[in-house]
Amino acid sequence: MRVTSPVAVLELKSVLSRTTNLGVDEIEAFVDYLPEINVEIPEVSMNKIISNAIEIAVRLRMRTLDLLHISASMIIEADAFITFDREFIEKEKEIANIGLIIKSG
């Protein structure tokens, strides 16, 4: 089973709404399709995500949204974080030091 976080869902909706001509229903369809491709979205407290992001911010020195992604992944106990984002790949060792493996696609 693959998992993604509510933070990733937020970013997906944000990106699709800003970079495409898709309507609200079409964007919602993307999110609704995730379980059909075996992607689970566990419920996670945003307060917990933010508190954890605050704890790791100084060690990782990354942008806020990136810290929230990493924090959420840690909280849902993901085995790995899959990304194409260069900043994550450049910080692979630092992120591994806090217990998360980065895999680039």
**Residue range 11-62, pLDDT digits in tens:** 999 999 999 999 999 999 999 999 999 999 999 999 999 999 999 999 999 9
How far apart are the C-alpha atoms of 89 and 23, rounded to whole Å?
33
- Contact yes or no for 80/102 (Cβ under 8 A): yes
Structural domain tally of the chain? 1
Taking the model in full, what pTM does it have? 0.85
- DSSP-derived 3-state class of residue 5: coil
Q: What is the pLDDT of residue 27?
A: 96
Residue 54 sits in which domain range?
A: 1-105
Contact, 102 vs 60, CB < 8 A? no
Q: How many CB atoms lie within 10 A of CB 95?
A: 23
